[in-house]
Amino acid sequence: MKPPFYITTPIYYVNDVPHIGHAYTTIASDMMARFARMEGREVLFLTGTDEHGQKIQKAAQAGGTDPKAFVDQVSERFRQLTPLFHLSNDQFIRTTEERHIQSAQALWAKMKERGFIYKGGYAGWYAVRDEAFYAESELINGKAPTGADVEWVEEPSYFFKLSSFQEPLLAFYRDNPHFIGPETRRNEVIRFVEGGLNDLSISRSSFKWGVPVPDDPDHVMYVWVDALANYITALGYPDENAADFKKFWPEALHIIGKDILRFHAIYWPAFLMAAGLTPPKRLYAHGWWTNEGQKNLKICGQYNRSC
Q: How many CA atoms lie within 13 A of 102 on its CB side?
A: 9
The Cα 36–Cα 8 span in angstroms is 13
**Chain CA centroid to CA 303, Å:** 24
- Tell me the angle at which helices 67-79 and 54-62 cross, rounded to the nearest 10 degrees: 100
Q: How far is CA 137 from each of CA 57, 124, 125, 142, 278, rounded to the nearest angstrom?
A: 28, 11, 11, 10, 32
Give the tens place of pLDDT for each residue, 92-122.
999 999 999 999 999 999 999 999 999 998 8
Q: Which of 295, 298, 306 is nearest to 20 (CA)?
A: 298
163: left (phi over 0), alpha (psi -120 to 50) or beta: alpha
pLDDT at position 307: 32
Separation CA 58–CA 36 (nearest Å): 40
| Cβ–Cβ under 8 Å, residues 213 and 158 | yes
**What mean pLDDT is predicted for residues 77-91?**
95
Residue 43 contacts residue 14 (beta carbons within 8 Å): no
When the pLDDT of each residue in the chain is averaged and rounded to a whole number, the result is: 92
247: how many CB neighbours lie within 10 A of its CB?
15
148 membership: H or E segment, kind and range: none
Percent of the chain with pLDDT over 90: 77
Task: Dump pLDDT digits (tens) for 217-248.
Answer: 999 999 999 999 999 999 999 999 999 999 99
Radius of gyration (Cα) for the chain, nearest Å?
Answer: 19
Q: Residue 289's pLDDT band (boundaries 50, 70, 90)?
A: low
- What is the predicted pLDDT for the residue at 299? 42
In degrees and rounded to multiples of 5, residue 151 shows phi and psi of: -135, 150
CATH code given to domain 5-295: 3.40.50.620
Q: Pick from 11, 24, 5, 3: which is nearest to 289 by CA?
A: 24
**What is the secondary structure of 193-259 as a DSSP string?**
HHT----EE-EE-S---SPEETTEEEEEE-HHHHHHTHHHHTTTTT-TT-HHHHHHGGGEEEEEEGG
pLDDT of residue 287: 80
Asked whether the predicted pLDDT for residue 305 surpasses 60, the reply is no
Given a cut of 80, whether residue 208 has pLDDT beyond it is yes
* pLDDT digit string, tens, across residues 148-164: 999 998 889 999 999 99
